[in-house]
Chains A and B, each alone.
Chain A
Amino acid sequence: MTEALIEVEGLSVTFRSEHGHALRAVDDVTLEIAEGEVVGLVGESGCGKTTLASCIAGRLAPSTGVVRFDGRELEVSRTVEDRRAIQMVFQDPYSSLNPRMTVRHVLSELLKVHRLVPRSGIEARCRELMALVGLPTSALDGLPSQFSGGQRQRIAIARALTVEPRVIIADEPVSALDVSVQATILKLFEDLRSRLGLTVVFISHNLAVVRHLSDRVAVMYLGRIVEQGDREAVFGDPRHPYTRALLAAAPRLHQVELVRAVVKGEPPSPIDIPTGCPFHPRCPRSEEICTRQRPALAQAGACPRHLAACHFRDETASRAEP
């Protein structure tokens, strides 16, 4: 395995709710991300995937745990270089772009502030960035409102690339886009990875998108990673019942019959996490041990990097779901 570019170790984030309850949004997460890798982070709303990403990007200080980058531990208040190295792209490109600034203004401002190119080279670099994200040079003169959703997401990506990051964390970057244009943005991420060697953390609730794009996948539930591993290990041979449930519930074009709702109920409140395995109240495979003992993330299946946090991780899908 290649040296990890990003190492997250024992990271937890606890928020205080307005009633004084402790809300553990991220709970003891350990994750390694290799250079040039695309890691998909999957899970339903409130599972902590965005909070985890914010910690990696340095937008939020973890309560405990560390984030290492290139072998160095990152301080809570990061240097400009470290902040530049890890950039985020958000779901809604409309609200994350200044509506009054032309694209050229946005990009050249960043180039000036960070002194990335000599003043005379700013225009050329702006054009280069447009070409990189597949927009015509004329787009530089436009305001965000003049672009379609897909184009706006390209602009947001161009802005992230302006500061020459090594890592892009994309938080649901195609979820707000129409299906007919989603594919172009997915393709763009693939291109950027192969042309610039970018490392990408791709957050999505859409399993099809994550399976298509990622090398490795981590599935989160109630703040914890419940399963992680190489893409095909996790999707081809899921060992956590929650991963199986997500896969079963994923929308499919050619559904022969109605999907049985495999999982009962709704995720519990993160201020009142169930004892034992946090998934046990909804789990079709739950037994008595699950109610008292929290399973650790441990080796599952044949692939050495495939981990699952389930007492029955050695069972394959056919056994668990008769």
Chain B
Amino acid sequence: MTPLLEVEDLVVEMRRHGVAFRAVDGVSFALERGGALAIVGESGCGKSLTLRAVMGLLPSGGRLSSGRVVVDGVALPVEARGRGRGHRQHRRMSIVFQDALSALSPVATVGNQIAEAPRHVLGLGRAESRERAIELLRLVGIPDPERRYHAYPHELSGGTRQRVMIAIALSSEPAILLCDEPTTALDVTIQTQILALLAELRRERGLSLVFVTHDLGVVSQVAENVAVMYTGRFVETGPTAEVLAAPRHPYTSGLLAAAPDVDRPEHEPVAIPGSLPDPLALPAGCRFHPRCRFATAECLTTDVRLQPVGPGRQSACLHSDVLAAAQAAVGHD
């Protein structure tokens, strides 16, 4: 069976100080029906742009210079600006942003915003659209939906606004939900509630998920597959549990070691040396080599791409076996 979503060799160019650079540099992935993929990386790695390019919502200044997005076997027409919605396959996808307050219209009630797609995209009548909106408000766990239908976004808390965003995303009956750090601005108790809601939507509606986050701690809760992104490229992909337990790229293991662990206060977090490289002056060879303790002379010149390193796993590291051996020797931390 073909995957529900296939993304092939996506390249997004952005400009800074008049100079073009590849903010997303050859990203490919496939999402099975009902599956979930988390894309994790630090600020500026291109994870949000990847999502926006798939959705056809690149910001101005962004240019999709190559790549294919195939939904359910049908390739989306890709135009250079990476914008261009309206193709019926686009409607199979919806996106949820981090900052619901700026993504929602401040001058329309949340009910009207949710009813818009049922009315104008699905072609339902006025009363039916309204019914659908109330149903969706209930589905995303908003109490008293008939009353909340008439609320404006500013009257709602951050968690409720994010639920409204999800209701809007679901209103066009998508098969795929693209989530761009949807819980980053929320408190942890609310974050847990939203993650539980997404899990429920997957379970009960068979929704597929691409979830972008900077927080490795939420990955294991949302997706069974993970892609770790660095300077516009995936550097490691594989099943979440395996990647987090035994990473095969030094950047992944660096990220894992950098975060303090709430259950183990004695764990000393270790920062990754150096800082993220300037996208206009990327290091030659492996882009991670200046920060990598496994780097050898070969890494300075070889442009390393993802290679299979086990069943369902890929790593863009020449020394992924050395890393695996090092973990086996000390017991992974």
> Which residues of A are interface residues toward B (Cβ below 8 A)?
44-45, 148, 150-151, 178-184, 186-187, 205-209, 211-212, 231-232, 235, 245-255, 258-263, 266-267
Q: Which of B195, B214, B271 contacts A184 (CB 8 A)?
A: B271
> What's the minimum C-beta distance from A36 to chain B, rounded to whole angstroms?
19
- Chain B, residue nearest A151 (CB): B275
Interface centre among B188, B195, B214 (most CB of A within 10 A): B188
From B159, B241, B255, A179 is in contact (CB under 8 Å) with B255
Asked whether A180 and B189 contact (CB < 8 A) given A254-B244, A259-B195, A266-B159, the answer is no
Among the stretches B70-78, B259-267, B300-308, B316-324, the one at the interface with A is B259-267
Q: Which of A151, A182, A262 contacts B259 (CB 8 A)?
A: A182
Interchain CB contact under 8 A, B255 and A259: no
Is B282 engaged at the interface, CB distance under 8 Å to the other chain? no
With a cutoff of 8 Å between Cβ atoms, the chain A residues found around residue B271 in the complex are 180-184, 187
Given contact pairs A183-B260, A262-B189, a sample of 11 additional A-B residue pairs in the complex whose CB atoms are under 8 Å apart: A151-B275, A178-B42, A179-B214, A179-B255, A186-B260, A187-B271, A206-B260, A249-B189, A259-B196, A261-B193, A263-B192
List the A side residues contacting B215 at CB < 8 Å. 179, 251
Sample of 26 A–B contacts (CB below 8 Å): A44-B190, A148-B275, A150-B275, A178-B43, A179-B258, A180-B255, A180-B272, A181-B272, A182-B259, A182-B271, A183-B258, A205-B188, A206-B260, A208-B259, A209-B260, A211-B262, A246-B189, A249-B188, A249-B192, A251-B215, A251-B221, A252-B220, A252-B261, A255-B220, A261-B189, A261-B196
Would you call A252 and B217 a contact (CB within 8 A)? yes
Residues of B that sit less than 8 Å from A by CB: 42-43, 157-160, 187-193, 195-196, 199, 214-218, 220-221, 241, 244-245, 254-256, 258-263, 265, 267, 269-272, 275-276
Across the interface, name the chain B residue whose C-beta is closest to A232. Answer: B265
Q: How far is the CA of A211 from the CA of B269 in the complex (A)?
A: 12
Contact A253 B216 (CB under 8 A): yes
Using Cβ atoms and an 8 Å threshold, which residues of chain A touch B214?
A: 178-179
Interface of B is mostly: helix
Contact in complex: A208, B258 (CB < 8 Å): no
- A residues less than 8 Å from B190 (CB atoms): 44, 266
Q: B157, B214, B245: which has the most chain A beta carbons within 10 Å?
A: B157
Which residue of chain B has the shortest Cβ distance to A242 in the bound complex? B189
A285–B146 CA distance with the chains assembled, in angstroms: 30
A258 touches B196 (CB 8 A): yes
Q: Which B residues touch A184, using CB under 8 A?
A: 271
- Provide the bound-state CA to CA distance between A184 and B270, in Å: 7
A-side contacts of B157, CB under 8 Å: 266
Known interface pairs A180-B254, A183-B269; A258-B221 also in contact (CB < 8 Å) = yes
- Residues of A near B241 (CB, < 8 A) are 254
Tell me which residues across on chain B come within 8 A of A248, comparing CB atoms: 192
| A72, chain B: closest CB distance, angstroms | 34
Distance between Cα atoms of A267 and B189 in the complex (Å)? 10
Q: Which of chain B's residues have a CB closer than 8 A to the CB of A262?
A: 189, 192
Contact between chains at B221 and A259 (CB < 8 Å) = yes
Among A44, A150, A208, which residue has its beta carbon within 8 angstroms of that of B261?
A208
